[in-house]
Amino acid sequence: MLFKKLEFKFTWRSYQQNFLNNFLKHIDDNHLHVIAPPGSGKTILGIEIMKQVGKKILVLSPTLTIRNQWEDRLQSFFVNDAQFDDFSFDLNQPKAITFSTYQSLHSFYKKFENKEDYFNYFKKHKIEVLMLDEAHHLKNEWWKCLFELKERDKLTVIALTATPPYDSDPLEVSKYFRLCGTVDDEIAVPDLVKEGDLCPHQDYVFFSEPNDLEINFIADFRGKIADFIDSLSADEEFIKFIECHRFVMHTNNTLDQIYANPEYFSALLIFLKSVGKEIKFELLEILGFNVKDKIDIPVFDLNWASILLQNLLVTDREILEKNESVLHKLEPQVRKINIFDKSKIDLIGDAVLYRSLSNSPSKLKSIVEIIKHEEDLLKDELRAVVLTDYIKKEFLEIENISSINRLGVMPIFHYLRTQVDKSENLAVLTGTVVVIHHSKIELFSLFDTFENYSFIPLISAPEFVFISSKTAVSKLVDTITKMFEHGYITKLIGTKALLGEGWDAPSINTLVLASFVGSFVSSNQMRGRAIRSQRNNLNKTGNIWHLVCIDKTDLKGGKDIETLRRRFDAFVGISKSEKTYIESGIERLELPEKYIDISITDLNTDALNQSELRSDLSMRWKSAILHGTTLSREIKQYYENDKPYNLQKQQKFHDVVKYSFLELGVGLSFFIPEVLIKNLNVLLSKGIISFVYTVLTAFGLAFGYKTYKVLKNYIQFGFIFKNLSKIGEALKESLIEINLITTKKENIFVKTEVLPKGDMIISIKGTNDFESTIFINAIQEIIEPIKTPRYLILKANLFKKEFDIQNFYSVPQIFGDKKKNCAIFEKNWKQYVGESEFIYTRHLEGRKILLKARLMHLSNSFKKTTKKAVIWN
């Protein structure tokens, strides 16, 4: 055996042992894809996998620091006597184990003019396995040389990551999973906390408000957008241009183009409707609507305006060459108000306003308040790290902090040095700028020699020195890290690029994320720095602070809070509520849903008070862990509180059904006695038949329409909860039948639940993580607003047709890709859910019905109607 000298010297944690007991059954298809959070021992598990596979291997990492950690863990955890030396850091001289970086392999790949020589290199040196550490980096250039190799020589691929890049561009996500394969196993955060490999931790959100300048900028931006939209609606030349658009004037001749871009066609019609133009029925007929259908055309809002302008000015520009005079006049208008940049129309202000809010100087004051609070509580035990995106070297020397108008390492440094106690314990650590207090220079010598460095006092803050290194910066990073670990530095400011991934400082107990990057991967990696446990400190807890600048002109708080919500989808953490539970998503923090007329001060005071309860935090984690044994996935379908009874535009059960029956019942309780008394003379003079006719006529006039609406609402929505359960059963049976679920059928059940607010939850129990993920992804495809499925389900029985009710669902891609699988799903759907029509959408009639279904769901096109969550139960 290649690795017979390697033997793990310690005892495996229970979750590690469980993983190792099962991994061989996953790798038999030449793939092993594992999600392992920071602190789970991912590297030593990788070495054990390598040892058990027993073949020559290339281990790839994103940085030199992480590459070196692999060799360090190998020698420290698996070698007893003489050092293991059958390894190499050089791709030109590979050994049994070759440690390298993705960048090095990419450069190595590019130097081969003949790609056959690249493939032959692996054959010549008999390298049969690729170990991909922090595999979430593999989406673009680094991906190519690995995927070609995998496809050509069928190498075994072992992918390790803390967070797959689920929220990246769909093409990038697809490439990632083509290389790494589906997720085979996941190590759960609660298991790590239970075993003591991660410390109890909690996320807190600290809010700030934009300053007057920023508020004026936001108000001015929104005002300009509103004026621009109003001007479009009053521009006769533009309206005439839209009326004469080929999709409107020559619809039947442009069907293929309409079907390829239905949002564009919809935006044209919605605009014309908004300016009072009648929409000819012929335009709606091609979408599959008939005369009896009730069609609610949405409001021409900023989302639809964005779609319209994006197509007119970019996507469709060449074909609209004859109308260039109109577009040439339009383009300067949109550029003038900063909504057209890099061929992208942005009327919402995602880029412009988000840059303003995410980089707001108001967050500097938030950081000061958080650090002061944590230092008051923890005293010398504080180990605080502030991570941000940019250094902002232009603020290295500054006379007055009031001139700072940007977020960055140096602005944060100047704010903290002037406004917190014990500034001598403050330091900066980045790849190019390192700053410590002059009183720490002697302590620096305990870990490193002076000869490779120069210590240059800052002009604006001479008590601090800039450290200039004459050698590799990695040694300096190591020295400052040791000073931090020993408590000579207690407040450290750095960049996420240097410290956000792979940097190991287990003593961190306070982390402030002053980064506006909202991706799953970056956020989870940064957060992972603070949740590691610390040897000889069993009481360690971690507070992670997230900064948000609220846009009070936006009901939901603006883009900064939206980015934070997306970031939290990657975190599994503990709830704030009295009933403690562990779940992914920001809902567990019980933040407000609306941010107009809300006190930011009260929210921050509550967060600061909660953050003091560190000992209570440990107890809450222990309690929550006892209430579960494994992570499972569920999907939540939202009940829209802000627009409660908009029934035609929702595809879920609303409590309005119950209230409508109640209202009808109450009405009748008053109506019947009154009618009986008023028409008693009819009974006495004309007889019982005339009396009954009179009462029924009065009832019809008073309650006929209301009764019709109540019945229609009940038929359309009253059974949706039951339908969701039946849909789950149909899906479960179909997945079992096509062998995507192989767990014993008797151990599996579908669970549905209605929450107090009206949201519905569905999950599958008894399956493994991979099977659960497939089920949840498929359910989401079925119940979300219609996109472009290959097959569509129309559920409308004879009774529903009388009430003009049609429910559309998508057939999930895992069935739609193969006719045989779709037939299996159709059979189970009809058995559990009821008679429905399955429609193939890739021919003319099918595409018409698809567009009709999408138009019926247009109101939900820009909403998040469902949410996946990971829960511990």
Can you tell me the distance from the alpha carbon of 150 to that of 275, in angstroms, rounded to the nearest whole number? 56
Q: Report percent pLDDT > 90 for the chain.
A: 49
> Is 9 within a domain?
no
Can you tell me the distance from the alpha carbon of 565 to that of 774, in angstroms, rounded to the nearest whole number? 23
pLDDT in tens, 40-74: 889 999 999 999 999 999 999 998 888 999 999 99
Per-residue model confidence (pLDDT) at position 38: 82
Mean pLDDT score, 741-754: 88
Residue 411 has pLDDT above 90, yes or no: yes
CB 760 within 8 A of CB 722: no
In terms of domains, do 596 and 550 share one?
yes
Q: Of 674, 691, 716, which one is at a domain's C-terminal end? A: 716
pLDDT in tens, 289-306: 666 666 677 889 998 999
Per-residue model confidence (pLDDT) at position 651: 38
DSSP, collapsed to helix, strand or coil, labels residue 648 as helix
Residue 799 backbone phi and psi in degrees, to 5: -65, -40
Per-residue model confidence (pLDDT) at position 848: 79
Q: Which of 674 and 408 is assigned the larger pLDDT?
A: 408
> Is 638 within a domain?
no
Question: Which range is most confident: 80-94, 656-670, 771-785?
Answer: 80-94
Per-residue model confidence (pLDDT) at position 709: 46
Residue 843: pLDDT band by 50, 70, 90 thresholds?
Answer: confident
In terms of domains, do 516 and 405 share one?
yes
Per-residue model confidence (pLDDT) at position 206: 97
In terms of domains, do 781 and 751 share one?
yes
Residue 559 has pLDDT above 50, yes or no: yes
Can you tell me the distance from the alpha carbon of 469 to that of 454, in angstroms, rounded to the nearest whole number? 7
In terms of domains, do 305 and 428 share one?
no
In terms of domains, do 402 and 550 share one?
yes
Closest CA to 55 of 1, 120, 101, 118: 1
In terms of domains, do 152 and 236 share one?
no
Question: Which range is most confident: 108-117, 605-614, 733-742?
Answer: 605-614
Mean pLDDT score, 330-352: 88
Residue 99: pLDDT band by 50, 70, 90 thresholds?
Answer: very high
Per-residue model confidence (pLDDT) at position 646: 38
Q: Strands (DSSP E) along 197-308, which ranges?
A: 201-208
Closest CA to 50 of 17, 14, 92, 1: 1
Residue 416 has pLDDT above 50, yes or no: yes
Can you tell me the distance from the alpha carbon of 384 to that of 593, in angstroms, rounded to the nearest whole number? 30
> Is 67 within a domain?
yes
Total domains in the fold of the chain: 5
Can you tell me the distance from the alpha carbon of 760 to that of 653, in angstroms, rounded to the nearest whole number? 9
Per-residue model confidence (pLDDT) at position 668: 43
Can you tell me the distance from the alpha carbon of 659 to that of 642, in angstroms, rounded to the nearest whole number? 17
Residue 83: pLDDT band by 50, 70, 90 thresholds?
Answer: confident
Q: How far is CA 600 from the centre of its chain?
A: 25
Residue 529: pLDDT band by 50, 70, 90 thresholds?
Answer: confident
Q: Which helix (H) or strand (E) holds 761?
A: strand 760-765
Mean pLDDT score, 205-211: 94
In terms of domains, do 768 and 705 share one?
no
In terms of domains, do 153 and 220 share one?
no
Buried b (16+ CB within 10 A) or exposed e, 469-498: beeeeeebbebbbbbbbeebbbbbbbbbeb
> Is 647 within a domain?
no
Q: What is the mean pLDDT of the chain?
A: 84
Burial status of residue 377 (CB atoms within 10 A of its CB: 0-12, 13-18, 19 or more): middle
Residue 198 has pLDDT above 90, yes or no: yes
Residue 869 has pLDDT above 70, yes or no: yes
Per-residue model confidence (pLDDT) at position 860: 47
Q: Which of 857 and 265 is assigned the larger pLDDT?
A: 265
Residue 348 has pLDDT above 60, yes or no: yes
CB 859 within 8 A of CB 296: yes
pLDDT in tens, 641-682: 444 333 333 433 343 344 444 444 444 444 455 545 555 555
Mean pLDDT score, 414-437: 95
DSSP, collapsed to helix, strand or coil, labels residue 240 as helix
In terms of domains, do 812 and 784 share one?
yes
pLDDT in tens, 149-180: 888 888 899 999 988 877 677 677 778 888 88
Is the alpha carbon torsion for 661, 665, 668, 670 positive or negative? negative
Q: Report percent pLDDT > 70 for the chain.
A: 84
Give me the domain span that covers residue 530.
201-209+361-435+488-627
CB 362 within 8 A of CB 210: yes
> Is 139 within a domain?
yes
Per-residue model confidence (pLDDT) at position 686: 58
Residue 4 has pLDDT above 80, yes or no: yes
C-beta neighbour count of 837 within 10 angstroms: 12
Mean pLDDT score, 486-499: 94
Least confident piece of the model among 64-78, 337-351, 688-702: 688-702
Mean pLDDT score, 522-527: 80
DSSP 511: E
Residue 612 has pLDDT above 80, yes or no: yes
Closest CA to 82 of 190, 26, 5: 5
Residues β-bridged to residue 208: 549
Q: How far is CA 642 from the centre of its chain?
A: 22
Residue 804: pLDDT band by 50, 70, 90 thresholds?
Answer: very low
Residues present in the chain in total:
873
> Is 370 within a domain?
yes
Least confident piece of the model among 106-115, 294-303, 377-386, 794-803: 794-803
Per-residue model confidence (pLDDT) at position 701: 46
Mean pLDDT score, 506-513: 95
- Checking phi first, is residue 368 left (phi over 0); if not, alpha (psi -120 to 50) or beta? alpha
pLDDT in tens, 697-721: 544 444 444 444 444 444 444 445 5
Q: Of 716, 742, 769, which one is at a domain's C-terminal end? A: 716
Residue 802: pLDDT band by 50, 70, 90 thresholds?
Answer: very low
- CA 174 → CA 140, 144, 154, 688, distances in Å? 11, 13, 19, 73
Q: Which of 637 and 733 is assigned the larger pLDDT?
A: 733
449 contacts: CB under 8 Å, gap ≥ 6: none
In terms of domains, do 566 and 420 share one?
yes
Residue 405: pLDDT band by 50, 70, 90 thresholds?
Answer: confident
At 495, the amino acid letter reads T
Per-residue model confidence (pLDDT) at position 756: 66
> Is 543 within a domain?
yes
Least confident piece of the model among 13-22, 33-42, 183-192, 674-683: 674-683
Residue 531 has pLDDT above 70, yes or no: yes
DSSP, collapsed to helix, strand or coil, labels residue 203 as strand
Per-residue model confidence (pLDDT) at position 716: 44
In terms of domains, do 377 and 344 share one?
no
Can you tell me the distance from the alpha carbon of 738 to that of 750, in angstroms, rounded to the nearest whole number? 18
Residue 194 has pLDDT above 50, yes or no: yes
DSSP 298: P
Q: Of 324, 356, 388, which one is at a domain's C-terminal end? A: 356
Per-residue model confidence (pLDDT) at position 502: 75
In terms of domains, do 389 and 277 share one?
no
> Is 266 within a domain?
yes
Can you tell me the distance from the alpha carbon of 388 to that of 359, in angstroms, rounded to the nearest whole number? 10
CB 356 within 8 A of CB 482: no
Q: Which two tokens stand for residue 449?
A: 């020699």
Residue 139: pLDDT band by 50, 70, 90 thresholds?
Answer: low
CATH code for the domain of 573: 3.40.50.300
Residue 501: pLDDT band by 50, 70, 90 thresholds?
Answer: confident
Per-residue model confidence (pLDDT) at position 51: 94
